Each structure stands twice: as structure tokens, then as C-alpha cells.
Structure 1
Amino acid sequence: MITVDNLVKSFPARGGAVRALDGVTLEVQAGAVCGVVGPSGSGKSTLARCIALLERPDSGAIRVDGTDLVTLDGNRLRAARRQIGVVPQGDSLLRQRTAAGNVALPLETAGVDGPTRRRRVGELLDLVGLTDKAASYPDQLSGGQRQRIAVARALAANPSVLLADEPTSALDPETTGSVLTVLDRARAELGVTVVVVTHDMAVVRRICDDVAVLDGGRIVENGRLLDLVSDVDSRTANALLPALDQTDGIAGDHDRVADVVLVGFAAVGALLPEASNRFGVDLAVLGGGLTRLGETPVARFRLGLTGERADSALEWISEAGALVRRTPKGPQGVAA
């Protein structure tokens, strides 16, 4: 588990210090993938560097599996850092080393013997799907392959935490997918807790369990991804869920209009047809659509309901676990 408590970090600048992190508090459960997102300059990369103790915070605590890294120094700090693998932003491989040589570098530095080192490198190349590229040099690899080798290198010392700073920056969608698959496998097969710093919400949609949104050095939104998208006012929901078109003209043709968020296979597949049949109302989808968050389908629809029991249908949909918000169409513009 990673716990960040009231973290503050400033950098000197003309006219005074710039506060990059301003009282950041965050908890990431063991074995989860947490996406740290936000606009440029919001403090995302600074937070990742502080968690890895590549930057020393001005104040606050950073606990990994209960140990406050900020209080450590010398050998204890070096040992703690080995529990945190880092995938830096950009191309970080050594050009004079092969793919296998890059992965082996942390093991060589730690004094791991040759047979153990070769076995571990082989396991990691298999994990990232690049066993056949072991003898290739970085300039012979694609950008996505280099990033996958960087992930393998970060995992070499069996860390409990993996920090990836913009791991898919400048990669095409197909290549991005291969890198994200590797990060997800690291979590699933090795039990690593993963923190991904990204500006790309597609990364969050694909692999993240939790999200922390930074703005101006502060966390303005934080929690389980599926909980956040169930709040239609959240930044996460607005960034990830299908957009709702303007439907003012169409909305007037219905007795009730509501925005509905459905999470999970059962809700997305059956809830609305069952409500229509149960209460004898006609349901029309006026806007929105369907997406996936990891393996979970999530829908956001603007619905038009026609029939005497439209209100009852909306109440039943809400009681069944969907988020229902009625749009301001007359006196019924209240959340169900």
C-alpha cells in the first residue's frame, strides 16, 4: 500500500518559490492500478518523483507498506528505493546495451549472480512479450518495444511498487495498448501496485482501478474509478463517459427526461428493457452511449420516457443501482 500524507514540495523560481504540491494526501491499495491525471503543470510528475524519493518533499509523509520513506537515509533508503520500480518519461534505455542487457542492469548493480540474473531477465522478457528481442539494441526496436523493455527493467529487482510517468506518450493507439497490457500483467501476475502518471484518459479507461485528479498541486478528485463515473458532476465522469448531445427539441416530446449511468453487464444489458416492460412506458435513448472501463461496461444515456408511470420507472431504475438524474424539464427537474 502507498500512503501519501499532506505532501508539500516547492521549487525555487524568480519572484519566490513555486509550490508544485500543496498538501497532497492519497492512498493507493496494494495490487491496484492508480491513474494520476490532471492538466500540464498540475504536479503529476512531481508527485511520482517524490513517491520514488527522486525528489525530497518539503514536508509530509510517504509510506510504502507502512514505512515512511521520508525518514530514511543511507542504506535503509537505498533498500527502500529498490522496492519502487520507475519507468521514466521518454526513452530511457542505454543505447550500447541490448534489450536483455538493459533489463539486467539493476541486477548487476545489486550484485546478483550470473545464473540468477539470466533467469530473471528471461522471465521479464517473457512477461513483456519480447523474448525474441533479447539480443536487439534499442535502435533496432520500436518505441513501444523500448517502453516495454523499460517496464521490464523497472521490475527487475522485484519491486512492490511500479511508477510509470507518461508511459504511452507519443505512442500510437496499437502500441499504447501493448504497453498498457504489460502494466496490467505486472499487477495481475506479480502483484505490483502500479501508479501511472498520464494526460491520456484512454490509459485510465483501459487499466486503472483508482484515479487521483490533480490541479494546481492539489488533489481535487480521488477515489475508485467506478464510483467517480457514477457521479455525473465529477471530472472523471465528464472525461470518460460518452457525451450527451443537446436534445432540447426532442426532449419536449416525452413526459420525462433523465440522464442515467449504468455500470456492469447486468445493468447495461437488462435494466432499461425491464423497466419499460414492468411499468408500461416507452423508453427512447436521446443521447449518450456505451464505453468500457477495464472489463466493465458503463453506459451514460439521456432517456425520454413516455407513459403515466414514467416517474415510477425512474425510481425503480434508481433503486436497482443506477444513477438517475432528471433533467430540468418542468417541475420534475430533480435527481431521483
Structure 2
Amino acid sequence: MITVENVSKSFWSRTGNVVALDGVSLEVAAGAALGVVGPQGAGKSTLARCISLQERPDAGIVRLDGLNTATLDTRSLRATRRQIGVVTADAQLFRQRTAAGNIALPLEQSGVDGPQRRARVGRLLDLIGLTDKAAAYPEDLTVGQRRRIAVARALVGEPGLLLADDPTAGLDADGTAGVLAVLDRARAELGVTLLVTTQDSSVVRRICDDIALLDAGRLVEHGNLFELLHDPESRAVKELLPVIDATPSVGQDRIADIVLIGFAAVGALLPEAASRFGVQVSVLGGGLTRLGETPVARFRIGLRGERSDSALAWIGDRGGIVHQPLAGPQGVVAA
């Protein structure tokens, strides 16, 4: 469990004091995957450095499994840092070392013996899908492959927490997919708690359970992705789900925004509602995406027929998230 309690951090720059974090509080459950999202300068990397104990906050507390890290002496701080794996977008590999040699370096520095090093490095090469590149040098690898090697190096010490600061920055689609697959496998197979900072909301959609939205050093929103779907005003939902760009429509008895979760709901709920209640259902805007492996639709729909209200209620009873209908009879906006 990671607990961040009212953490603030400021830096001095040429323009004066810059507040990077302003009273941020959040929790990350053991084994969870949290995506910290926000624009450049939002404070994401500063939060990552505070949690990974590379920076001390000016105020507030970071707790790791209940341990108040502010109370640690220098020796204890070093030992605690070894329980945290960190990978960044600018992580560099040593050109004179092979892929396996780069992964093994932290173990060599810690005095781990040869057989243990080889076994652990072999397992991680398999996890990142680069066993066949063990003897390759960085210059012979793609940027995405080098980034995966950097993730493996961060994992080789068997940390309980893996912190990935903007891990897909500068990667093409294939490189991004490879890195995200590795992070997801690390969590599933090694049991690490995962914290990812990114400007790209698609990263959160693909591998995270929870989201923390930062803006100008403040925590705007924090919660479970699927729970936040129920809030029509959620900024995270607006970041993660398709934009509703609906064209004006007349002649509808009801217009409503809905969210459908799961294969059955996305594929069948609207046609079944239309058939069951004898109404015409039209999709006016929105689209489909996925949260992890789960399909999620966000639509604006129009309904025509005497039982339109009953159809909307039935969709809600079957797990659809129906926000307040936007229009009354014949497309007249409801009061």
C-alpha cells in the first residue's frame, strides 16, 4: 500500500518559486495499477520522485506499507529505495554491455552470485519477450526493445513497487504496445504494484485500474476507472471515453447519454431495449473504447416511441449507466 498524505513540493527557478505539488493525497492498494495523468508541468514526475524517495517533500508524508518514509535515516532510506524499481523515458543502457548484461548490472553491484544472476535475468528476458536478444548490444535493438530492457533492469531487484515515469514517451505504436504489455505482465506475474505517469490517457485505458488526474500540482480527481464512469461530470471519464460529438437531432421523444460496460451490454443492450419496448433507438454520437480488456461504449442516443422512458429505465436496470435524459417529448429540452 502506498499512501500519500497532503504532500507539497516547490522548486526555485529563474521566474521564482514553482509549486510542483500542492497538498496531494492519494492511496494505491498493493498489487494495483495507478495511472497519474496530466499535462506537462502538472507535477507527475515530481510526485513519482517523491514516492520513489528520490525527492523529499517539503510537507506531507509518503508511507510505504505503513512505513513513514520521512523518519528514515540515510541507511534505512537506501534499503527502502532498493524495494522500488524505477524506469524513466530517458533511461540509458550501457553500450558496452549486452541486453542480459544491462539487466544484470544491479545484481552485480549488490553482490548477487553468478547462478542467481543468470537465473533471474533469464526469467526477466522471458517476461519482456527478448530471450533471443540476450547477447545483443543496445545499438542493435529498437528503441522499444531498449525501453523493455530498462524495465527488466528496474525489476531485477524484485521490487514490490515499479514506478514508470512516462514509459512510452517517444515510442511508435509497436514500441508502446511492447512496453505496456511488459508492464502489465510484471504486475500480473510478479505481483508488483504499478504506478505509471503519462500525458497519454490511452496508457491508462490499457493497463490501469485507477487514475489520478493532476493539474498545476493539484489532485483534480482520483479513483477507480469503472467507478468513475458513473459520474457524468468526471474529468477522468472525459479523458478516457470517446468524445460525444453529436449532431442536432429533432423528432426524438428522449435524448440521453449512456455508458455501456462489457461485451454483452455493448453488443446487445440497445437492440434488445428497442425490441422489448417497441421504440426506435438511434445512436447520435459517441463511440467505443476499451478499459483493459473490457469494452466500454459512451453514446448519446435518441429514442422515439411511447415507452421511451421505460426503455431507458430498463437499460439502467441491466447495468447501463444512464445519465439524466437531455430532452423531453419531440426533442424539446426538458426543464
Q: Same fold (TM over 0.5)?
A: yes
Match 1:270 to one of 251, 263, 268: 268
- Distance, in Å, in 1 between the alignment partners of 2:157 and 2:69 is 18
User: Partner residue of 1:303?
Assistant: 301
Q: Within 5 A, what are the aligned runs for 1:203-218? A: 203-218=203-218
Moved more, 232-241 or 20-29: 232-241
Structure 1 residue 260 corresponds to structure 2 residue 258: yes
The number of aligned residues is 332
Q: Identity of counterpart residues, as a percentage?
A: 65
Kept in 2, the 8 Å contact 1:33–1:207? The answer is yes
Q: Within 5 A, what are the aligned runs for 1:141-156? A: 141-156=141-156
Task: Indicate the SS of the match to 2:162.
Answer: strand
- Distance, in Å, in 2 between the alignment partners of 1:92 and 1:57 is 26
- Distance, in Å, in 2 between the alignment partners of 1:95 and 1:47 is 30
Deviation, structure 1 residue 17 = 2.1
Q: Deviations over 1:229-287 (max 9, x none)?
A: 33232222222212222321xx2121111111111222212222222222221111111
Kept in 1, the 8 Å contact 2:98–2:138? The answer is yes
User: Partner residue of 1:294?
Assistant: 292
- Distance, in Å, in 2 between the alignment partners of 1:265 and 1:33 is 23
User: Partner residue of 1:85?
Assistant: 85
User: Partner residue of 1:160?
Assistant: 160
- Distance, in Å, in 1 between the alignment partners of 2:43 and 2:184 is 24
- Distance, in Å, in 2 between the alignment partners of 1:230 and 1:266 is 18
- Distance, in Å, in 2 between the alignment partners of 1:232 and 1:95 is 50
Kept in 1, the 8 Å contact 2:34–2:208? The answer is yes
Task: Indicate the SS of the match to 1:308.
Answer: coil
Q: 1:327 to 1:177 in 2, by over 3 A?
A: same
Letter of the 2:11 partner, please give it: F
- Distance, in Å, in 1 between the alignment partners of 2:75 and 2:91 is 29
Kept in 1, the 8 Å contact 2:246–2:286? The answer is no
Kept in 2, the 8 Å contact 1:229–1:240? The answer is no
Letter of the 2:187 partner, please give it: R
Deviation, structure 1 residue 331 = 6.3
Task: Indicate the SS of the match to 2:9.
Answer: strand
Letter of the 1:261 partner, please give it: V
- Distance, in Å, in 2 between the alignment partners of 1:33 and 1:8 is 23
Moved more, 180-189 or 26-35: 26-35
Letter of the 1:277 partner, please give it: S
Kept in 1, the 8 Å contact 2:246–2:300? The answer is no
User: Partner residue of 2:235?
Assistant: 235
Q: Within 5 A, what are the aligned runs for 1:30-49? A: 30-49=30-49
Kept in 1, the 8 Å contact 2:255–2:326? The answer is yes
- Distance, in Å, in 1 between the alignment partners of 2:47 and 2:144 is 25
What is the TM-score of this pair, normalised by structure 2? 0.95
Deviation, structure 1 residue 311 = 1.1
Kept in 2, the 8 Å contact 1:43–1:217? The answer is yes
Kept in 1, the 8 Å contact 2:2–2:65? The answer is yes
Moved more, 228-237 or 138-147: 228-237
- Distance, in Å, in 1 between the alignment partners of 2:199 and 2:51 is 19
Task: Indicate the SS of the match to 1:223.
Answer: strand
Q: Within 5 A, what are the aligned runs for 1:167-246? A: 167-246=167-246
Deviation, structure 1 residue 186 = 0.2
Q: Deviations over 1:42-64 (max 9, x none)?
A: 00000001111111111211111
Structure 1 unaligned blocks of 5 or more: none
Deviation, structure 1 residue 112 = 0.7
Q: 1:21 to 1:168 in 2, by over 3 A?
A: same
Task: Indicate the SS of the match to 1:12.
Answer: strand
User: Partner residue of 1:327?
Assistant: 326
Q: Within 5 A, what are the aligned runs for 1:53-92? A: 53-92=53-92
Letter of the 1:303 partner, please give it: I
RMSD: 1.5
- Distance, in Å, in 2 between the alignment partners of 1:83 and 1:131 is 25
Task: Indicate the SS of the match to 2:13.
Answer: coil
Match 1:285 to one of 271, 283, 286: 283
Letter of the 1:327 partner, please give it: L
Deviation, structure 1 residue 29 = 1.1
